[in-house]
Amino acid sequence: MLTRKPVSSQIVLLMSIFFCLMIAAVSVFASTEGAAVPPPASDVAWWVWPLVLLVVTFVLGILAVLGGVGGGVLFVPIIGGFFPFNIDFVRGAGLLVALAGALAAGPGLLKRNLASLRLALPVALIASAAAIGGAMIGLALKPNVVNILLGATILFIVIIMATAKKSDFPNVPKPDNIAQSLGIMGIYREESIGKDVEWTVHKTPQGLLLFIVIGIMAGMFGLGAGWANVPVLNLLMGAPLKISVATSKFLLSITDTSAAWVYLNQGAVLPMIVVPSIVGIMLGSMVGVKILAKAKPKAIKWMVIGLLLFAGLRALLKGLEIWK
């Protein structure tokens, strides 16, 4: 007997095929070398690019929500790999895309007490200071070096996404001295079990050290760092999964702010790239949230992993000048 796939899965599948075709078309049009039949980027009317960017980022916004990743982590390797824009401008836009998403989600998460200011503030101070350093390093490096490092990072993220476990309610026997002194703890209502959950954290010094690395990477590559924040908050420091995800999202609004200023001050921001991308990702995220209720997250997660794998390899090969 034939089994019928849910309509939402078919929509996502069709969207993915359309997205791949669009990316293929963009990469052909963006090529400035030997494109005898399709016109090079400079011959395409300027308005085509923001329009294509809007459509691509709209689809990215949907996939990001369904795949449980931030928009920035998909945006930088895909737009950097397949559009004709310099990686400096793509990273600047990537930070602002991640920042806009975090700013939009932040108020709701804070009000529902899922994002915790007590947890976020100390971590954000470390990560945002490190992100400034990361942004300065990133803008000083040669583009091919950035692409190689970006490709390697994206492939590392793929491994984390494919293998990392998550823990809904990690066991924290005792808060460490820093957590105790700062009072990093809270209570939230866990609707899935109908109970109030008390939480605290441990291993704060190790967590703060890792946030230095996360901040540098976020600033250097223009990536939102949710992929790294969540495992550190949840698996290392022992915050419940919901608190970790929500605090991580809110945290990006602070970490990415500091790095975004560096890009802005260095003139690495082009409104023609930034605005359609922010609007596209935000609209896509809104649609994604609606599809999420019906879609099969596991299948989509693997699709996003596949997409990241492809984009990571593209960045790596572009940096190594194997696939220009």
Nearest residue (CB) to other proteins, 46 versus 302:
46
Shortest reach from residue 235's CB to other proteins, in Å: 24
Q: Which two tokens stand for residue 277?
A: 């991308």
Of 107-115, 203-211, 237-245, 304-312: span binding other proteins (CB under 8 A)? 107-115
Find the binder of other proteins among 212, 272, 283, 286 (CB under 8 A). Answer: 272
Structural element, H or E, at residue 185:
strand 185-190
Selected from 61, 67, 71, 106, the binder of other proteins by CB under 8 A is: 106
**What's the closest the beta carbon of residue 248 comes to other proteins, in angstroms?**
16
For residues 78-97, one letter each, b for 16 or more C-beta atoms within 10 angstroms of the residue's C-beta and e for the rest, the string is: bbbbbbebebbbbbbbbbbb
12 versus 91: smaller Cβ distance to other proteins: 91
Phi, psi for residue 168 in degrees, rounded to 5: -60, -50
Closest by Cα among 235, 233, 198, 225 to 122: 233
Selected binder of other proteins within 55, 113, 169, 283 (CB under 8 A):
113
Q: Interface residues for other proteins in 122-141 (CB under 8 A)?
A: 122, 124-125, 128-129, 132, 136, 139-140
Q: How far is CA 25 from CA 30, 126, 182, 309, in A?
A: 8, 42, 53, 19
Going residue by residue from 225 to 264, which x/- string records binding to other proteins, judged by CB under 8 A? ----------------------------xx--xxxxxxxx
Nearer to other proteins, 205 or 267 (CB): 267
Please name the residues in contact with 3: beta carbons below 8 A apart, sequence gap of 6 or more.
Answer: none
Stretch of 2-10, 117-125, 168-176, 222-230 contacting other proteins, by CB under 8 A: 117-125
Whole-angstrom distance, CA of residue 67 vs CA of residue 207: 25
**Which of 99, 71, 60 has the alpha carbon at shortest distance from 264?**
99
- Closest contact distance (angstroms) between CB of 13 and other proteins is 31
If one asks whether residue 181 binds other proteins (CB under 8 A), the answer comes out as yes
CB of 12 to other proteins, least distance (A): 27
Burial class (CB in 10 A: 0-12, 13-18, 19+), 239: buried
Q: What is the greatest pairwise CA distance in the chain?
A: 67
CB 171 within 8 A of CB 240: no
Binding to other proteins, residues 42-101 (CB under 8 A): 42, 44, 46-47, 49-50, 84-86, 88-89, 92, 96, 99-100
Binding mask 192-221 for other proteins (x = CB under 8 A): ----x-------------------------
Determine the straight-line distance between the first and last CA of the chain, rounded to whole angstroms. Answer: 47
Least distance CB 35 / other proteins (angstroms): 13
